[in-house]
Amino acid sequence: MSKLESYIGFAKKSRNLVTGSSTVMYYMDKKKVKLLIISKDTSDNTKDKLIKSAKKNNTKYVIYEDCENLSRAAGEGYKTSFAILDDNFAKVILKEIDN
């Protein structure tokens, strides 16, 4: 298990991770999302909606691996979008993604 997967798991356990595009959009509208992670295999329409919302709310976002790895790290089923709600988790996860 990579550090990134561990951090995503910790974020989930501490309730600082939300998954699924509709739930993520809800939290983005409330301006609670610190980092948006979109899997590469998200449909183009959903990806465009999420990116547009992230830009509107000045939220950092990354497009990362396939949804299988991200969903496994979060302990979720087939999810393609993930939102981190905590600044500290967002910083360390973004740092790991950049490495």
On the question of pLDDT at 31 being above 60, the answer is yes
CATH number of the domain that residue 84 is part of: 3.30.1330.30
pTM for the model = 0.89
Does the structure show a pLDDT above 60 at 1? Answer: no
Per residue in 58-89, pLDDT tens? 999 999 877 787 777 777 778 889 999 999 99
State which residues form the domain around 83.
3-98
Q: Residue 87 in contact with residue 35, Cβ under 8 Å?
A: no
| Structural contact between residues 61 and 51, judged by C-beta atoms closer than 8 angstroms | yes
Number of structural domains (the chain) is 1
| Nearest partner of 92 among 19, 37, 18, 40, judged by Cα | 37
